[in-house]
């Protein structure tokens, strides 16, 4: 059995679904942040796979860009989480509800 | 002072231009110097024009208006000296004159209506010039409101005419009416609507109540209002629209009847008024009634087929406007004269005046000339113009002719009652506030009086009627060689006799005091009271129209609609959206993950939709 495009896409979809589940269902803010990273990387896998099979290099270049942005985003996200933790003494996302009426 | 010189310079300029206009109009074959329209607005397919028409009627009016206005403003320098609102006064006077000049030159009804309202506004501003006096503020409001009632009819009529004919242009409306395109009930109602505007502005019955109260303004304002600018606008409007009126027998009969009735009705109230300005005010209403009667009588002659179009149209305008022309001079003279008398005594109450003949010889002389002219004594101006009206009324409206003849007697009586009470006998003290230093007015006030007195004598000699396109002219020069008076000459004799006997009766009662005014008043008890209380019109309007009908009726209903329906709708919308917001905001939990879930579900729904509907 050879490994084809659909295998990569299935892997990407599974990873994305796992990430989405985690982002929506987990309580811990750090875990939510990690799950978002998983979703991002799932998309990266799909992008690289398409780039390979369509045979254009720009998909892979774009993936590098996304990883760079994601690194920055993680840094900002962690900084926010630390800041919130200092204020609230908790990482439970359900307690972060000041964005309501 | 600079304000006064500026406006006087400007009005002198327009007087020169007006005279030039008369000369130019006289030089043209059809007495139409110019009639041009310019595009003003264009809305969809509708184009609205503004335009100027300078024909014989307009040129006579501009000369009258600018002459009177010039003299009144010169007089005002003396009269208004030291008044805190000196500059404001001259500004308003100029605006007033300007509006009137625009009104008479407009060649379409909408444009004319604009100036018509301008005149109304200025009369409000000037009657209420001393607005710190509650009575003045009230009188101004009354003038504005009462004329507004008439203006409403005018506006409706203008719109009606536009809807039916598609034009505001006066010349076109004339042609449509004469050709019979515009006819039937449309024409009648439109003419009556236009006439209701004239009733309001010219103080005709039943909207006459504002004019006597308009005396609250400075006296020169009254002179201007009564002679040139405000009240003549109504007569001018009827003259301007004369072919339209004359084409509807009903409408023109209404004009004649209202005019004839107002003439005697107002004169009767003038018999007992004690304020000299009020006497003059009632006299104005009465004389305006004459003008309407003159227009109406000739129009009736045309409508009933006694006169052909060729003769009637010029004649009607000539008869009405000739009297307007002469009346402007002697009425302005009389008002300014009464102002001069009041300048010395500090009051307008004739019971407190008297004996001014000796201290104010110039004022006295000019006032008597004005009164003689108004009383229609030969050969003063008022005689000729009044003769024209009486003749036409005799021909075409005999009943109204009888009323007009009685009015001649009453006019002479009340004018000389005013003369004798003001200038003869002993001085009765003037105003209590100690303003008792009697003196003749300054030259700047006397000179306009003298000029106006000259006009009050000679204005009736000018062939205004011929100039206005009539084949029959009533002026002095026109029948100078064919006899003293127009045929039938008995009428002139009768009217002079009536005038003289009116003067005689006034002399007997107020000059010689052979007859006692009080005794006559007592004998006539209820009638006297009726006249003094002005036929209870003010009370009736106040009690029934204002209180019952307007305040308790219309206003109560509209207020209920306003608070419950209009405000209710606004408040209802606000309450519903507020309540909706209170419910909807529960959806905003602040939980980031709930929002995320909502976004996820939304994306799924969109994708599902794409699959299903594509």
* Residue A76: domain span: 7-90
Q: What is the count of residue pairs from A and B with beta carbons less than 8 Å apart?
A: 29
Quick check: B482 pLDDT over 60? no
| CATH number for the domain harbouring residue A70 | 1.10.287.3510
CA distance B293 to B406: 14
Take residue A80 and report the two structure tokens written for it. 């926010």
Quick check: B461 pLDDT over 90? no
* Nearest CB neighbour to A98, from listed B590, B597, B600: B590
CA distance B609 to chain A (A): 21
Does residue B588 belong to the interface with chain A, where contact is any CB pair within 8 Å? Answer: yes
pLDDT of residue B436: 56
Between these two residues, A51 and B489, which has the higher pLDDT value?
Answer: A51
Report if residue A17 sits inside a domain: yes
Annotate B494-514 with DSSP letters as a single string. Answer: HHHHHHHHHHHHHIIIIIS-S
- Mean pLDDT: which of B67-76, B219-228, B307-316 is highest? B67-76
Between these two residues, B529 and B200, which has the higher pLDDT value?
Answer: B200
Does residue B582 belong to the interface with chain A, where contact is any CB pair within 8 Å? Answer: no
Is the entire prediction scored with pTM above 0.80? no
In chain A, the number of structural domains is 1
Report if residue A11 sits inside a domain: yes
* Nearest CB neighbour to A20, from listed B585, B592, B600: B600
Report if residue A101 sits inside a domain: no
Contact A24 B596 (CB under 8 A): yes
Going by pLDDT thresholds of 50, 70 and 90, the confidence category of residue B404 is confident
Quick check: B276 pLDDT over 90? no
pLDDT of residue B481: 53
Residue range B293-315: mean pLDDT, rounded: 82
pLDDT of residue B355: 74
Q: Tell me: the pLDDT tens digits for B497-528?
A: 888 888 888 888 877 777 666 766 677 767 76
Quick check: B425 pLDDT over 80? no
Does residue B518 belong to the interface with chain A, where contact is any CB pair within 8 Å? Answer: no
Identify the weakest region by mean pLDDT among A49-58, A89-98, B463-472, B498-507: B463-472
CA distance B378 to B489: 13
Report if residue A80 sits inside a domain: yes
Q: Which residue has the tokens 């008044």?
A: B83
* Best B578, B591, B601 residue to mutate vs chain A (most A CBs within 10 Å): B591
Contact A101 B588 (CB under 8 A): yes
Contact B591 A97 (CB under 8 A): yes
Going by pLDDT thresholds of 50, 70 and 90, the confidence category of residue B611 is very high
SS (H, E, C) B154-219: HHHHHHHHHHHHCCCEHHHHHHHHHHCCCCHHHHHHHHHHHHHHHHHHCCCCCCCCHHHHHHHCCH
Going by pLDDT thresholds of 50, 70 and 90, the confidence category of residue B487 is low
Residue B139 has a CB neighbour count (10 Å cut-off) of: 22
Q: Tell me: the pLDDT tens digits for A8-63?
A: 999 999 999 999 999 988 888 899 999 999 999 999 999 999 998 888 888 889 99
Pick the residue from chain A with its C-alpha nearest to B598. A24
The fraction of chain B above a pLDDT of 90, given in percent, is 5
Contact B589 A97 (CB under 8 A): yes
Report if residue A95 sits inside a domain: no
Between these two residues, B112 and B489, which has the higher pLDDT value?
Answer: B112
Report if residue A69 sits inside a domain: yes
Quick check: B192 pLDDT over 60? yes
Residue B220 and residue B129 in contact, taking contact as beta carbons nearer than 8 Å: no
Report if residue A62 sits inside a domain: yes
Going by pLDDT thresholds of 50, 70 and 90, the confidence category of residue B432 is low
pLDDT of residue A44: 92
Between these two residues, B546 and B368, which has the higher pLDDT value?
Answer: B368
pLDDT of residue A75: 93
Contact B588 A100 (CB under 8 A): yes
Take residue B404 and report the two structure tokens written for it. 């007009």
Residue B270 has a CB neighbour count (10 Å cut-off) of: 26
User: ipTM of the assembly?
Assistant: 0.83
SS3 for B34?
A: strand
Report if residue A98 sits inside a domain: no
């Amino acid at each position: 059995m050879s490994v084809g495009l659909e295998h990569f896409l299935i892997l990407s979809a599974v990873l994305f679904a796992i990430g989405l589940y985690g982002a929506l269902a987990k309580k811990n803010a750090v875990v939510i942040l990690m799950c978002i990273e998983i979703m991002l990387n799932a998309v990266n896998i799909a992008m690289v796979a398409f780039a390979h099979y369509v045979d254009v290099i720009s998909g892979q270049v774009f993936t590098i860009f996304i990883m760079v942005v994601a690194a920055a985003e993680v840094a900002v996200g962690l900084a926010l989480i630390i800041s919130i933790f200092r204020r609230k003494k908790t990482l439970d996302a359900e307690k972060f509800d000041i964005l309501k009426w | 002072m600079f304000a006064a010189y500026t406006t006087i310079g400007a009005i002198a300029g327009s007087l020169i231009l007006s005279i030039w206009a008369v000369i130019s109009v006289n030089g043209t074959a059809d007495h139409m110097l110019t009639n041009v329209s310019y595009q003003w607005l264009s809305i969809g397919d509708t184009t609205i024009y503004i335009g100027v028409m300078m024909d014989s009627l307009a040129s006579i009016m501009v000369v009258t208006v600018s002459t009177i206005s010039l003299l009144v403003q010169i007089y005002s320098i003396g009269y208004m000296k030291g008044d805190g609102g000196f500059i404001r006064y001259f500004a308003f006077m100029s605006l007033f004159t300007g509006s009137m000049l625009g009104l008479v030159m407009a060649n379409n009804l909408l444009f004319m209506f604009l100036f018509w309202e301008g005149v109304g506004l200025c009369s409000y501003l000037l009657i209420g010039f001393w607005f710190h006096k509650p009575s003045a503020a009230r009188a101004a409001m009354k003038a504005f409101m009462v004329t507004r009632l008439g203006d409403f009819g005018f506006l409706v009529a203008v719109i009606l005419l536009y809807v039916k004919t598609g034009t505001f242009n006066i010349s076109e409306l004339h042609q449509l009416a004469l050709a019979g395109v515009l006819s039937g009930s449309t024409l009648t109602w439109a003419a009556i609507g236009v006439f209701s505007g004239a009733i309001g502005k010219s103080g005709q019955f039943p909207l006459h109540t504002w004019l006597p109260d308009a005396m609250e303004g400075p006296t020169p304002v009254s002179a201007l209002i009564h002679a040139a600018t405000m009240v003549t606008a109504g007569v001018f409007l009827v003259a301007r629209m004369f072919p339209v009126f004359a084409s509807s027998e009903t409408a023109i009969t209404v004009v004649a009847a209202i005019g004839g009735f107002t003439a005697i009705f107002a004169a009767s109230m003038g018999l007992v008024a004690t304020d000299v300005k009020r006497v003059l005010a009632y006299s104005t209403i009465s004389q305006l009634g004459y003008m309407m009667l003159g227009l109406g009588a000739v129009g009736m002659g045309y409508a009933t087929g006694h006169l052909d179009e060729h003769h009637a149209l010029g004649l009607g305008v000539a008869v009405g406007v000739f009297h307007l022309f002469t009346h402007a001079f002697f009425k302005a003279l009389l008002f300014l004269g009464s102002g001069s008398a009041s300048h010395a005594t500090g009051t307008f109450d004739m019971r407190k005046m008297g004996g001014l003949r000796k201290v104010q010889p110039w004022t006295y002389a000019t006032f008597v000339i004005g009164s003689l002219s108004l009383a229609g004594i030969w050969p003063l101006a008022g005689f000729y113009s009044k003769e024209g009206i009486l003749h036409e009324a005799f021909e075409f409206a005999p009943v109204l002719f009888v009323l007009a003849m009685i009015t001649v007697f009453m006019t002479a009586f009340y004018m000389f009652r005013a003369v004798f009470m003001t200038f003869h006998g002993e001085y009765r003290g003037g105003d209590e506030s100690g303003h008792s230093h009697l003196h003749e007015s300054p030259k700047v006030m006397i000179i306009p009086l003298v000029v106006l007195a000259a006009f009050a004598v000679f204005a009736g000699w000018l062939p205004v009627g011929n100039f206005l396109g009539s084949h029959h002219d009533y002026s002095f020069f026109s029948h100078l060689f064919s006899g003293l008076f127009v045929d039938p000459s008995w009428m002139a004799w009768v009217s002079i006799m009536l005038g003289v006997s009116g003067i005689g009766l006034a002399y007997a009662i107020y000059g010689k005091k052979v007859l006692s005014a009080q005794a006559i008043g007592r004998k006539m008890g209820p009638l006297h009271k009726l006249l003094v209380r002005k036929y209870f019109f003010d009370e009736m309007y106040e009690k029934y129209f204002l209180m019952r009908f307007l305040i308790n009726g219309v206003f109560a209903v509209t207020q209920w609609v306003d608070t419950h329906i209009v405000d209710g709708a606004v408040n209802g919308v606000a309450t519903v959206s507020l309540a909706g917001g209170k419910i909807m905001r529960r959806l905003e939990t602040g939980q980031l993950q709930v929002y995320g879930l909502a976004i996820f579900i939304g994306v799924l729904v969109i994708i599902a939709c794409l699959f299903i509907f594509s």
